[in-house]
Chains A and B, each alone.
Chain A
Amino acid sequence: MTNSWVLAAYLITYGLIGLYVLSLRSRAKRLARERRDQE
C-alpha cells in the first residue's frame, strides 16, 4: 500500500464515508437540540 495512487484511493474512499457518517450524526444532533429547545 506504499503506492501513492492506491493510498489516495483508500484515503478518499474511507474519508468520504467518514464525512458522510459525521454529517448524519450532526444532522441527528441538530434535530435533537431543536426538539429540546421547543419543549
Chain B
Amino acid sequence: MRRIALPSLAGLAVLAGLGLAIASPPDAIQGEYVRILYIHVPAAWLAFLAFGVTAFGSIAWLVRKTERWDRLAAASAEIGVLFTGLALLTGMIWGKPVWGTYWDWLDARMSSTALMFFVYLGYLALRRATPDPVQRARRSAVLGVIAVVQVPLVYFSVSIWRTLHQGMTVTSDGIAMDGGMVAALFVNVAAFTLLYLALLVQRLRLARAEAAAAPEFEAIAGSTVSEPRLRSGS
C-alpha cells in the first residue's frame, strides 16, 4: 500500500501543478515564457534540499558510522544532480528567448550552479572510483559536508553579484508575483518535493538491494577487483 501511495501522490501533485501552470496568467513582460518558472524554480530548490540531505547523511555517517546514512547521502546526491541538471537545462531554454542567450559564463547564478553540478558529479564519480566501502563512505562524507557550502553561495549569488540572472522573487519582504502565479509555483514545489521523496525511497530500496546482492569479497574490494588465486602449500 505504502509502496504505491507516495508515487501516486507525486503523480497527482504533478498533474495538479501542470494544470495550474497552464491556468496561471501570462507575465506582463515575459508572456508565456514565465511558465518555465514553475519547473525551473522547483527543480533548483529541490536540488538544494537534496544536497542538504546529502550533507545531513554525511554528518550522520561521520558520527554514527552506520551504512544506512551513507546510502541516504549517496541516493540524495544522485537525485540532486538530476534536479540541478534540470534547473540548468530549463534555465538555458528560458534564457534563449528572454535574454537572447542560452548561457553566459559571466553570470554568477549560472556559473555557480554549473560548478555545483560538476562538484556533485565528482561526488558520484568518487563513490564509483573507491572500491572499499568504508573508505568510500568516509571520503564521500567529507566531500558531502564540504560541497554543501555551495548551496547558500548559489542561492545568494544573485544578491551578492548583480549579473544577468534576475534577483530573488521570494524574499523576507514578500513575493513579487501575481496570486495565480504564486499558487502555481507553490503547488509545483509541493509536487517536486513529493517526486523527490518518491525517487529517494526507490533509490534507497535499490541501494539496499545492491548491498545485499554484493558478494562478501566485492563488498570489501569492489567489483572491479577479482579474487586472488592462492597457491596451495605456499
Residues of chain A touching chain B, judged by Cβ–Cβ distance below 8 Å, are 1-3, 5-6, 8-10, 12-14, 16-17, 20-21, 24-25, 27-28, 31-32, 34-35
Contacts and interface: CB of A to CB of B under 8 A. Distances in A.
A1 B21 contact: yes
Interface in B3-41: 14, 18, 21-22, 31-33, 35-36, 39-40
Nearest to A25: B202
Contact of A13 (B31, B32, B43): B43
Interface of B: 14, 18, 21-22, 31-33, 35-36, 39-40, 43, 82, 85-86, 89-90, 93-94, 96-97, 195, 199, 202-203, 205-206, 209-210, 213
A31 B93 CA distance: 37
A24 B22 CA distance: 30
A29 to B, nearest CB: 10
A20 B199 contact: yes
A22 B213 CA distance: 20
A5 B34 CA distance: 11
B36 A9 contact: yes
Given A16-B86, A24-B206, A34 B213 contact: yes
